[in-house]
Amino acid sequence: MKVSLPKQNITMMTKEPLLPLVPKALIKELDKSNSVSHKCCTVLANADSPKCKLSVCILMGREDIHTILTWLDNVLRVSEGMNITDIGPKCTMVKTMM
């Protein structure tokens, strides 16, 4: 029985991976033009607990997958830190980050 190896497609080998292991430099500095800041509680059960400020980049529409995953992680952190459980306020908060 003769065994032959499949031909490798050269174009597939030259493509950049969908999710590279090392993220590219995303945004060097977050300022008022490319980010939004939210104050989040450090203790979720206590509204009077000390607050911390989270700055989240605003999506522009041409971001890579690392930026989108980081953005989603930050959205979840902000919604937990602000103790938002209802869908209405959560949608309003997410719209400020898009």
Each residue's pLDDT tens digit, 72-90: 888 888 888 888 888 888 8
- Kindly report the pTM of this predicted structure: 0.63
Radius of gyration of the CA atoms of the chain, in A: 21
pLDDT tens readout for residues 22-66: 666 655 677 888 888 888 888 877 878 888 888 888 888 888 777
pLDDT band at 7 (very low <50, low <70, confident <90, very high): low
Among candidates 47, 27, 48, 24, which has minimal Cα distance to 36?
A: 27
Higher-confidence residue of 2 and 12: namely 2
**Domain boundaries in the chain?**
31-95
Q: Measure the CA–CA gap between 68 and 57, rounded to whole angstroms.
A: 10
